Amino acid sequence: MIIAALCGLLGVSCSLEEKSYTEIDMDEYIKNADEANNVLMGIYADLCDEGMYRYNLSMLLQMPTDMEKCEGSTTDNYRIVPANAYTSVQSDIEVTWEAINKAIYDANSFIRLLALNVESFEDESDKALATVYMGEARALRALCYFELVRWFGHVTLNTDPMYAYKVSLSDMEQDEPEKVYEQIEKDLKYAIDVLPYATDDNLRTSNAYRFSKGAALGLLTKVYATWAGYPIQDESKWELAAATAKELIESGKHSLLTEAVDGNSGFEQLWWNTCNGVWDPTESLIEISFYSPTSTASGARIGRIGKWNGTLAQGIKGIRNNAQFRCIPTFLEDWPDRTEDLRVKLSVADYRYMDQTKTKYDLNSSDRNGNIPYDESQFETAFTGNDSNLKTRFTRNLTPSKWDTEKYVKDANYLVDQNYSNINWYVLRYADVLLLYAEALNEINQGPNATAYEMVNMVRRRGFNVPLGQDGSPADLKDGMGYEEFKQAIRNERGYELAYEGHRRQDLIRWGIYYETVMQTAQDMEDFVDGGSSVYIAAQYTQKGKHELLPIPYRDIQLMPKYVQNPGW
């Protein structure tokens, strides 16, 4: 069996002196903890693939929703995917299918070979590390299967790296999603049992950007919440989601990030950290680390974060930001407390950069129009006034600001390239778990209790930059909500807190409202400004009962005749 333990790993630069364990018979390789760790790092490196969190799972496949769309109004080139206009032969879908399955295969190989070799480890401390590494590998496999099943639906569950040699493609069949979820649950429970919390880890030399007990608990909470929703809708899983989230929260090992430097709010500190490779497990549960000293480093694990989904910029130190990811203004129009909630302006950029001075310019600035100074008051004017030109600019040119390269990235982490960056990606934050816990409690009790309110209000207070324990804060939700009203409040709050972080589409799908939301957003855009819907062309292509899942790639359907294609494809 072979597996790649590549250089340029998570948070590790690549050099010619480092070994690259590629095409190696690992039955003869994993003989101690150091060797096991080298191979395990290859699985982490799989998460940096273009088809995974480098691009597709973080950005490209996350559109469209009521919050985000792609630049432009056609289906040319990459735009075909955010428009939901692709078919089962789309290369981006094939790339993601391959990348997730490769990571699962690599995890399966490592789990098998570590189990075969661990008894031969001579050092007892190596055996203790091997247990942790096994927990990490199973958590990584769970994460990858979670992505595979929620994006593609009916897939083959395989925990045996020799499976492909035992079963011919013509005989390969899909498993029910419930069976896949059961394996995910099993893997994460194992990881929870053997992994230490990040702050308690005295075995690994470094646990930066690696699975911990808290990460496994948080991911399992999200798995249960997804399992409880569309399309499986096993509502019994809400109890398990609540219990799992409660264990994480009551451990006291993680919390919302409130400590800040340089006068930032705690919420803003999240983006300073992830834009500069600063590992802080306070709130970061699962984070993908991208780093390369140069964009051309062989095997470098570089990302696209802040370039494809960053602020509009040209003539900057990094040449330019493609900034093809666009924010939808009607989501902001409906955001209450727009002027008091710091997350609004920390999430959305209504400006662009035109030079290396880091000066903000108007969205209408261009070489043709000259560099027009940025007017901060335009943000509120766009929603309260009748300036159709301003509204049109907002419809076309708002971008995320969480990964603002010119604001956050320090010189030591700056990658001078027009396409790539060293900015990390949050897969799961503690705030996400708090909101899932509140959602689970509301579902279980058919209405919110005091704990559900507390979870949401903590998140909101941090967004308003007030003390988390300040009851009666202007950030708090109103009392006396019923089940439906609180459910909608949770759905809104997940949008406000997690905006553009790759959660919205899957949230809308598990809530069973994806199609309806896309259609309503097109109408909202047209209501915002005449012609607004023309840049939200997804409404022309999105179909109910089809776009809740990606298609199984056509070539794989041809190779595996027992496979059944997803509905509508």
* pLDDT classification of 15: cutoffs 50, 70, 90: very low
* Span 479-533, pLDDT tens digits: 999 999 999 999 999 999 999 999 999 999 999 999 999 999 999 999 999 999 9
The confidence score (pLDDT) of residue 25 equals: 55
Does residue 131 lie within any of the structural domains? yes
Give φ, ψ of 389 to 5 degrees.
Answer: -65, -40
The confidence score (pLDDT) of residue 229 equals: 98
Mean pLDDT of the 143-155 span: 98
* pLDDT classification of 451: cutoffs 50, 70, 90: very high
Does residue 430 lie within any of the structural domains? no
Name the pTM for this structure. 0.94
Residue 5's domain comprises 1-194+540-569
* Span 549-565, pLDDT tens digits: 999 999 999 999 999 99
Q: How far is CA 52 from the centre of its chain?
A: 10
From 404, 423, 442, the end of a domain falls on 423
For residues 136 and 106, is the Cβ–Cβ distance under 8 A?
no
The confidence score (pLDDT) of residue 21 equals: 36
Burial class (CB in 10 A: 0-12, 13-18, 19+), 20: middle
Does residue 167 lie within any of the structural domains? yes
Does residue 510 lie within any of the structural domains? no
* Span 280-339, pLDDT tens digits: 999 999 999 998 888 776 567 899 999 999 999 999 999 999 899 999 999 999 998 888
At 276, the amino acid letter reads N
* pLDDT exceeds 80 at position 460: yes
Mean pLDDT of the 405-421 span: 93
Cα distances (angstroms) measured from residue 374 to each of 349, 364, 403: 11, 9, 19
5 and 132 in a single domain? The answer is yes
Q: Which residues face 21 on adjacent strands?
A: 5
13 and 142 in a single domain? The answer is yes
Does residue 484 lie within any of the structural domains? no
Secondary structure of residue 366 in the 3-state scheme: strand
Q: What percent of the chain has pLDDT over 90?
A: 85
38 and 174 in a single domain? The answer is yes
Question: What is the dihedral sign for C-alpha 526, 528, 530, 536?
Answer: negative
Does residue 149 lie within any of the structural domains? yes
Q: What percent of the chain has pLDDT over 70?
A: 94
From 402, 423, 444, the end of a domain falls on 423
DSSP line for 407-457: HH--GGG----SS-B---EEEEEHHHHHHHHHHHHHHHHTS--HHHHHHHH
CATH number for the domain including 84?
A: 1.25.40.890
The confidence score (pLDDT) of residue 297 equals: 64
* pLDDT exceeds 80 at position 26: no
* pLDDT classification of 164: cutoffs 50, 70, 90: low
Q: CA angle 70-74-75, nearest 5°?
A: 85
Give Cβ neighbours of residue 44 (< 8 Å, ≥ 6 apart): 9, 10, 140, 209, 210
Secondary structure of residue 355 in the 3-state scheme: coil
43 and 186 in a single domain? The answer is yes
Residue 86 half-sphere exposure toward CB, CA atoms < 13 A: 26
The confidence score (pLDDT) of residue 550 equals: 98
Does residue 384 lie within any of the structural domains? yes
> In this predicted model, which residue has the larger pLDDT, 238 or 365?
238
From 423, 450, 481, the end of a domain falls on 423
For residues 352 and 313, is the Cβ–Cβ distance under 8 A?
yes
Q: How far apart are CA 380 and CA 396, in angstroms?
A: 17
* pLDDT exceeds 70 at position 6: no
Query: Which of 92-106, 253-267, 418-432 bottoms out in mean pLDDT, i.e. has the lowest?
Result: 253-267
Secondary structure of residue 348 in the 3-state scheme: strand
Task: Domain count for the chain, please give it.
Answer: 2
Does residue 512 lie within any of the structural domains? no
* pLDDT classification of 9: cutoffs 50, 70, 90: very low
For residues 6 and 299, is the Cβ–Cβ distance under 8 A?
yes
* Span 232-269, pLDDT tens digits: 999 999 999 999 999 999 999 999 999 888 778 899 99
The confidence score (pLDDT) of residue 262 equals: 78
* Span 472-481, pLDDT tens digits: 899 999 999 9
Q: Give the single-character DSSP code of 74.
A: S
Secondary structure of residue 270 in the 3-state scheme: helix
The confidence score (pLDDT) of residue 322 equals: 87
DSSP line for 261-325: STT--HHHHHHHHHHTT---TTTEEEEE--B-SSTT-TT-B-B-TTTTSS-EEEEETTEEE---E
42 and 167 in a single domain? The answer is yes
Beta strands in 195-329 (DSSP E): 284-288, 312-316, 319-321, 325-327
Mean pLDDT of the 114-120 span: 93
